[in-house]
Amino acid sequence: MALDSTAESTIVSAAPAAPDERVLAVRDLSVEIRRGDRVVRPVSGVSLDLHRGETLGIVGETGSGKSMTGLALMGMLPAGGRVTAGSIDFGGTELVGLPAPAYRRIRGNDMAMVFQDSLTALNPTRRIGEQVAEPVRWHQGLSRRAARQRAEEMLALVGIPRPRERMDDHPHQLSGGMRQRVMIAMALVCEPKVVIADEPTTALDVTIQAEILDLLDDLRVRLGMAMILVTHDMGVIARHADRVGVMYAGRLAETGPTTALFELTRHRYTQALLASIPSLTHDRGEELHSIGGAPPDLSAAPVGCAFAPRCTAVTERCRTEQPAVVAEGSHAFACWNPASGPVEHATTRLAAPARIGVEHDGPRLRVVDLHREYPAGHGAWFGPRRTVKAVSGVTFDVAAGETFGLVGESGCGKSSLGRMLVALDRPTAGEVVFEGRSLTAMRSRELGAHRARLQMMFQDSSAALDPRMRIGAILREPLAIQGIGSRAERTATARDLLADVGLPSAVLERFPHELSGGQRQRVALARALALDPTVLVADEPVSALDVSIRSQVLNLMRRLQGERGLSSVVISHDLAVVRYLSDRVGVMYLGRLVETGPAEEVYAAPAHPYTAGLLAAVPEISSMPRDQRVGRVRGDLPSPIDPPSGCRFRTRCPLATERCAEVEPRLEEVGPGHQVACHFPLQPVVRPSHNGGA
Amino acid sequence: MAWYIVRRLAVSVVVLLGISAVVFFLLHLVSDSPGRVVLGQRASPEAVAAFDHEHGFDRPVVVQYVSYLGQLLQGDLGRSYKLNQDVSTLLQQNAARSAMLSLAGLVLALVIAVPLGILQAVKRNSVVDRVATGAAYVLYATPAFLLGLVLIAVFSQQLDLLPAEASQSHSPWVVFTDPRSMALPVVTIAVTSIAIFSQYQRSSALDQLGQDYIRVARAKGLPERLVLTRHLLRNACLPLITLVGTMIPLLLAGNLIVESLFNYSGLGLLFLNSLHREDYPVLLAYTLIGGVLTVVGNFIADIAVALADRRIELAS
């Protein structure tokens, strides 16, 4: 597996690790959290070193202890948490047991943390200038004016345009990417020696993610910091970390230089994890490798290797004896039966999709020039009423048994579109035609009968399942509403559905909160399938799931799509997920489809600069050929209240000319079934024409 | 926001018109003719009729209402025939005193309840938190008159620390000039509010403590004191602003009991006495003031929340 850790980022390689300058040395760190009678050990015996100028990536799934390790270093464990053993040597200062006032002088000053972007990561009622200036005022005793000056410089450094004007903005006035820049400015304003970035880009779009990670790399070099990058995303690690630590169940399973670790994977968990990630070049005919089971409960005292119950190479020794750490140079791992390299190809071919339930000609679902606008209030005092143009003229078909994928950045209108497809929302103009009949024209009673055939699966299964209903009741409800079968028959159907999604029938009696995220998403899928729909719209079906669970659900969705001859629309910001699930894809930008075509073709030879830019922004473990004419997409999505004239992408397009501002491009063929709306497509247009848009 | 204010003002006018109409017609339904009320049971029917005719009370109710509205627009709230004074003069004397009493109670309640609620949230499920929550429930369930009587019995009669009667001075500033005699009335008003406010503040602070920006503030190395005052306080108080706005008319009602209990001449006592005297113009004006305060309280609260929290766009 070739490693492309420096793609698009000239800075990473420019930062040589200076092994003599060790800024942080953690030895045998263990943490426990006590909540009432329950004791959880999220971190057990973690040892790591961090040198000046380097980035150490810590990767793992939810509950692996990666974030807790970061918080332990910051001395910010949650209530009931404490370090039970080990030491943290920070440039000669022992941090374990350091008195609170002394710790506070280090926190935010010599060691800082960048958190995941969320709407409330910044104080919503204080101006961003004040918030950035706060650490310098507190730690370095700067005057209000000097601190403000410093904050402004810092905002400029993190790439906030016109920082002086932005200083007095409130956080809600900034986009997600800008907020995360402010967060970074806040963490780095005191020029710390070590910065811990905990999932710094998880909530962001790939385009913004790439910019933020490059920014962190750049600042790390400029300010001479060391960085710990905590993430669940192997691609981010591959591109941005010098060394990696893979965590599982509170322990470091494997550590080593990034290149070595990905090329010569030793721990069975790392190996399986890497194989379960869908990539942009994955052969769609093959099932994803999937790790069975779920991560262990960390409140139980561990015996043997924590990964043993899920490991395919498990032996008796693994179950009884904690594996010792073996070092091979700078590469260390804790596994009794180490692998040598990436997972061997012993993959399962997916069966060709069945074509069942096709009872009429033409596409099963047809979307015709669909528009949706939402009122957005007034822009100014006594200003005119504005509208958000969420979807502006989208047209596509989905055939029986076909899966259509919709990708695009958040705010591009893909979810609004999805809701209209299943008639949860009505379009402002245009129509959705289902099996030859317009849903848009139907009255609500008639629509009710059709709803059974149109089902939706949501991203957040913990919110989409009623917390006070047992799983059995959740699965029976749609059947009861449509008046299908007796109670006993409905229970039998519910049991069959659970079996279909790979859950035991005991789950019927459980409540949603008693299930894991992956199990809940399976239930959500089962519920969507309860009425035997012909169309399934899945909005970010696996975004909330961990990597190892994600591949289980993705494989399941692929299998059920094939078996049931479902027509699906998969909506996701994750390009690899969409590619794995979809036969055809549509790329959305600001409410319009800019490119559509067969999935593999669009990914291999994107014709729209936006598609190419999106693909280039995806951090991949393995390198893939990229179109050199366009870099990755930069900047923020323009406002859908006031979209740019002509081609909507022109404001971010490296190829844009005046023509793009004046004439809106129409979809044109660049291959069989492959269309693009661009005046300067990256692939030649099939039918020579005048590119007329007038 | 401009549209919002314009629309809210327009709606307020309609609401107040409605309130005035309902109260006006209700009072006409329940009362004898004003002439009878003013002249007494022994006055001759002719005298009563003459009085009513002279003051226009024999006209149809709707006509009387319209002319009443006309007077209102000129700031004329009518005339108390019992006291032979303009209602507006009566109200002016008492409104300021009532407002001062309520305001003092409100400020005292906030000064205690806001920190208490935050303390409870920070030390949630501790002994302090549980005792405070228990006390809040008991106090919230205690009627003001009972509480006032208990306070009088303890502080005035048993301990002889404070007078049982409020100051009889006519200045609205008595809260400051004679704090000893005003202590018990102010405390009585404050206690019930403290119980509500602190519980509200507790749950709001708990919400905010779970937000990411608190963790970010701690990661800056700020001591907990500054995390709470600089970051938590303002955000945690936002829901309270709305509550205080809606509580303003309730405070007026609270005054009714406290003022009569401590014999403090304010709007509440005036209302109570007017009720006994069947002095309808005063009752009508008092009810209208209640309506105005409700509308204005909510309005101020909405604007204040929007100013304190820039995320809120007041939609029209």
pLDDT tens digits for A416-444? Answer: 999 999 988 889 999 999 988 898 888 88
Nearest to B231 among A118, A123, A186 (CB): A123
Full DSSP string of chain B = -HHHHHHHHHHHHHHHHHHHHHHHHHHHHHS--HHHHHH-TTS-HHHHHHHHHHTTTTS-HHHHHHHHHHHHHTT---EETTTTEEHHHHHHHHHHHHHHHHHHHHHHHHHHHHHHHHHHHHTTTSHHHHHHHHHHHHHHHS-HHHHHHHHIIIIIIIS--S-SS------TTHHHHSHHHHHHHHHHHHHHHHHHHHHHHHHHHHHHHTSHHHHHHHHTT--HHHIIIIIIHHHHHHHHHHHHHHHHHHHHHHHHHHHHHTT--SHHHHHHHHHHHT-HHHHHHHHHHHHHHHHHHHHHHHHHHHHH-TT-----
Exposure string over A528-539, b if 16+ CB within 10 A, otherwise e? bbbbebbbbbbb
Q: Give the separation between CA A432 and CA A414, rounded to whole angstroms.
A: 15
In angstroms, the Cα distances linking B72 to A53, B17, B78, B178 are 77, 11, 8, 36
What tokens does A580 get? Answer: 């794995």
Report the interhelical angle of B144-151 vs B233-261 (nearest 10°).
80
For residue A9, what pLDDT band results from cuts at 50, 70 and 90?
A: very low
Nearest to A381 among B2, B213, B219 (CB): B2
pLDDT, tens digit (0-9, with 9 covering 90-100), for A304-324: 899 998 888 888 999 998 898
A75 touches chain B (CB under 8 A): no
Torsion of CA A255, A258, A264, A269, to 10 degrees: 50
For residue A257, what pLDDT band results from cuts at 50, 70 and 90?
A: very high
Say what the pLDDT of residue A105 is: 94
Is the Cα torsion angle B47, B48, B53, B56 positive or negative in sign? positive
Say what the pLDDT of residue B253 is: 66
Q: Give the separation between CA B22 and CA A392, rounded to whole angstroms.
A: 51
Say what the pLDDT of residue A446 is: 85
Q: Give the separation between CA B264 and CA B259, rounded to whole angstroms.
A: 5
- Least confident piece of the model among A103-112, A148-157, A561-570, B129-138: A561-570
Q: Give the separation between CA A654 and CA A635, rounded to whole angstroms.
A: 12
Asked if B113 and B121 count as a contact pair (C-beta separation under 8 A), the reply is: no
Mean pLDDT rounded to a whole number for chain A: 86
What tokens does A301 get? Answer: 């005292």
Work out the widest C-alpha separation in chain B, in whole angstroms: 85
Residue closest to A342 by CA, chosen among A287, A289, A401, A387: A289
CA–CA–CA angle A168, B212, A151 (5° rounding): 30
The SS3 call for residue A113 is strand
The SS3 call for residue A10 is coil
Asked if A134's CB is within 8 angstroms of B212's CB, the reply is: no
- In a domain, residue A602? The reply is yes
Say what the pLDDT of residue A363 is: 87
Say what the pLDDT of residue B38 is: 75
Say what the pLDDT of residue A254 is: 94
What tokens does A508 get? Answer: 């019927």
Asked if A381's CB is within 8 angstroms of B221's CB, the reply is: no
Q: What is the mean pLDDT of residues A504-531?
A: 88
Residue closest to B226 by CA, chosen among A108, A687, A244: A108
Q: How many CB atoms lie within 10 A of CB B98?
A: 26
- Least confident piece of the model among A102-106, A111-115, A624-628, B45-49: A624-628
A377 touches chain B (CB under 8 A): yes
pLDDT, tens digit (0-9, with 9 covering 90-100), for A48-73: 999 999 999 999 888 889 999 999 99
What tokens does B77 get? Answer: 């709230």
Mean pLDDT rounded to a whole number for chain B: 86
Domains and CATH numbers, chain B: 89-308 (1.10.3720.10)
- In a domain, residue A414? The reply is yes
Say what the pLDDT of residue A100 is: 92
Say what the pLDDT of residue A16 is: 47
Say what the pLDDT of residue A516 is: 81
The SS3 call for residue A429 is strand
Q: Give the separation between CA B265 and CA B284, rounded to whole angstroms.
A: 19
- In a domain, residue A592? The reply is yes
Residue closest to A192 by CA, chosen among B243, B220, B217, B46: B220
Distance in angstroms between the alpha carbons of the first and the last residue of chain A: 49
- Which residues in chain A are contacts of B231 at CB distance < 8 A? 123, 126
Q: How many CB atoms lie within 10 A of CB B138?
A: 10
- In a domain, residue A532? The reply is yes
For residue A28, what pLDDT band results from cuts at 50, 70 and 90?
A: very high
Q: Give the separation between CA A521 and CA A461, rounded to whole angstroms.
A: 6
Q: Give the separation between CA A186 and CA A194, rounded to whole angstroms.
A: 14
Say what the pLDDT of residue A625 is: 47
CATH number at residue A464: 3.40.50.300
Exposure string over A231-269, b if 16+ CB within 10 A, otherwise e? bbbbbbbbbbbbbbbbbbbbbbbbbbbbbbbbebbbbbb
What tokens does A203 get? Answer: 């909530």
**Residue B215 is which amino acid?**
R
Say what the pLDDT of residue A2 is: 40
Backbone phi and psi for residue B78, each to the nearest 5 degrees, phi listed first: 100, -170
- In a domain, residue A614? The reply is yes
- Least confident piece of the model among A4-8, A587-591, A624-628, B219-223: A4-8
Asked if A76's CB is within 8 angstroms of B1's CB, the reply is: no
Say what the pLDDT of residue A334 is: 92
Q: Give the separation between CA B223 and CA A81, rounded to whole angstroms.
A: 19
Say what the pLDDT of residue A253 is: 93
In the DSSP assignment, the letter for residue A349 is B
Asked if A12 and A247 count as a contact pair (C-beta separation under 8 A), the reply is: no
Bridge partners of residue A585, in order along the sequence = A405, A597
Say what the pLDDT of residue A11 is: 33
Backbone phi and psi for residue A390, each to the nearest 5 degrees, phi listed first: -70, -45
The SS3 call for residue A123 is coil
Per-range mean pLDDT, top range of A496-505, B170-179, B200-209: B200-209
Nearest to A125 among B212, B217, B235 (CB): B235
Asked if A559 and A499 count as a contact pair (C-beta separation under 8 A), the reply is: no
Asked if B162 and B152 count as a contact pair (C-beta separation under 8 A), the reply is: no
- Which residues in chain B are contacts of A378 at CB distance < 8 A? 3, 316
- Which residues in chain A are contacts of B213 at CB distance < 8 A? 120-124
A residues 378..417 contacting B (CB < 8 A) = 378, 381-382
- In a domain, residue A108? The reply is no
Residue closest to B226 by CA, chosen among A31, A357, A126: A126
Asked if A187's CB is within 8 angstroms of B218's CB, the reply is: no
Q: Give the separation between CA A554 and CA A92, rounded to whole angstroms.
A: 48
pLDDT, tens digit (0-9, with 9 covering 90-100), for A430-486: 999 998 889 888 888 888 888 888 999 988 777 889 999 999 999 999 999 888 889
Considering only residues A491 and A548, tell me which one the structure prediction assigns the higher pLDDT: A491
Count of structural domains within chain A: 1
For residue A500, what pLDDT band results from cuts at 50, 70 and 90?
A: confident
Bridge partners of residue A431, in order along the sequence = A368
Q: Give the separation between CA A570 and CA A457, rounded to whole angstroms.
A: 9
- Least confident piece of the model among A159-173, A197-211, B133-147, B249-263: B249-263
pLDDT, tens digit (0-9, with 9 covering 90-100), for B236-254: 999 898 888 888 877 776 6
Q: Give the separation between CA A598 and CA A639, rounded to whole angstroms.
A: 29
Q: Give the separation between CA B234 and CA A123, rounded to whole angstroms.
A: 10
- Residue B315 C-alpha, separation from nearest chain A C-alpha, in angstroms: 6
- Determine the structural domain holding residue A644 and report its residue range: 365-676
Asked if A246 and A255 count as a contact pair (C-beta separation under 8 A), the reply is: yes
Q: Is it the case that residue B43 has pLDDT exceeding 50?
A: yes
- Which residues in chain A are contacts of B218 at CB distance < 8 A? 76, 107
Q: What is the mean pLDDT of residues A94-102?
A: 93
Work out the widest C-alpha separation in chain A, in whole angstroms: 76
- Which residues in chain B are contacts of A111 at CB distance < 8 A? none
Q: Give the separation between CA A547 and CA A331, rounded to whole angstroms.
A: 23
Residue closest to A388 by CA, chosen among A140, A645, A641: A641
pLDDT, tens digit (0-9, with 9 covering 90-100), for A188-230: 999 999 999 999 988 788 888 888 899 999 999 988 899 999 9
For residue A10, what pLDDT band results from cuts at 50, 70 and 90?
A: very low
Asked if A49 and A79 count as a contact pair (C-beta separation under 8 A), the reply is: no
- A102's CB contacts (< 8 A; 6+ apart) are none
- In a domain, residue A409? The reply is yes
B230 touches chain A (CB under 8 A): yes
B123 touches chain A (CB under 8 A): no
| 3-state per-residue secondary structure call for A187-200 | HHCCCCCEEEEECC
pTM of the model: 0.83
Asked if A640 and A259 count as a contact pair (C-beta separation under 8 A), the reply is: no
pLDDT, tens digit (0-9, with 9 covering 90-100), for A346-374: 556 665 555 544 455 678 999 999 999 98
The nearest alpha carbon in chain B to A198 belongs to: B216
**Residue B67 is which amino acid?**
S
The nearest alpha carbon in chain A to B226 belongs to: A138
Q: Is it the case that residue A690 has pLDDT exceeding 70?
A: no
- A651's CB contacts (< 8 A; 6+ apart) are A635, A638, A644
- In a domain, residue A133? The reply is no
